[in-house]
Amino acid sequence: MDQQKLTDLLKLMINEADELRDYNRDSAKFRTWEDKVYRRIINIYGKDSREYFGFKGIPFNMMLGQNIWEKANPSVQKRHFNDCLDEAKLFFEGLIEDIQLFPKKSLEESSETQVKKIFISHSSKDKKIVSEIVHLLSLIGVQDSSIFCTSLSGYDIPLGDNWLETLKSEISGEVIVLFVLSENYFQSNVSLCEMGAAWVLSKKHVPILIPPVEFKNIDGVIPLTQGLIIRDKHKWTQLKTQLEILFNLSPKAPQIWETRRDEILERIEYLLIP
C-alpha cells in the first residue's frame, strides 16, 4: 500500500476510535469497528506481525482478575473502555511515526500472505456433500472465482489441461485447503495423491470430517488442530470468522448466517443417511 494512503487510513482509524466514546465494548458499532481494524492490520502487516499482536493486546475486555464490583460498575467500565480507546489511538499514532521514521520500508510484502483461493480436496463420490460446502462458502461471502474444486463444473480443471500441473499452479502459499475426509476419500488413490500435493504446496489446512470418520481414526495422517466435524454448527461459525479475516469479507449478519447455515447443514445431514 502507498505510504501516504496508509497514513491516511491510520488517521481515519484514530478518528473512528474517537467516535466510539458514546458506545461500549458490547455495542454492534464497536464490534464492527474492531473487526474492521483486525482485517486492515492483517491485510497490511500480516497476522504474525507485531502490529497485529500490538492491537490485540489492548484490553478492551476487563481482566478476569479484577474485582467483580468493578466489572459490574457502569462508570468503571466506561472509564476502562475510553482508556482502551486512548491506547488504540496512541497505537495508531505510533504506526504513523514508524512510517515517517522509515519512509523506505515496504509494506507490500505482507499483502502477499493474504489468502487468494480455497481448494477443496475431496473424493468425487462425495460430490453432493462438497456442493453443499461450496454453498456454505458462498454464504460466507467467498467469490466463486476464489473456489477451486475438481469435481464441480465451473470450479474444476478446464478440459485438456494437465491435472497435476493445474493443481500445482492453483495450490500455493496463498491457498487454504479444505480436506473433506470421508471413507470414500481414504479409498481413493487420486484423493490421497491430491492430499499429498496439497499438503506440500499450501500452508493453511482445515480438515472437515464426514461421519463415520472420526478424529481418532486418522490420528497421525494430518494435523487436526483446526479440524471440524461437518455437522458442527459452531465450528462452521468459527471457520466463517477466519475466512472473513483471510479474505477481507464483510461479516454476514448472525441471523442471516445462522438460518441459512442450518438449512444447508440439514441438507448435508440428509445426504449422510446410509
Catalytic residues: 194
Q: Which amino acid is at 219?
A: D
Q: In angstroms, rounded to a whole number, what is the distance separating the alpha carbons of residues 260 and 256?
A: 6
Would you say 206 and 226 are in contact if contact means Cβ atoms under 8 Å apart? yes
Rounded Cα distance between 23 and 1, Å, is 31
For residue 88, the one-letter residue type is: A
What one-character-per-residue DSSP string does 92-129 give? Answer: HHHHHHHHHH-TT---HHHHTTS--EEEEE--GGGHHH
Cα–Cα distance list, 57 to 18, 27, 84, 92, 213 (Å) = 19, 20, 10, 13, 39
Place of cell 489441461: 161
Burial readout 18-47 (b: 16 or more C-beta within 10 A, e: otherwise): eebeeeebeeeebeebbeebbbbbbbbbbb
Q: What is the DSSP string of 59-95?
A: --SPPTTS-HHHHH-HHHHHHHHHHHHHHHHHHHHHH
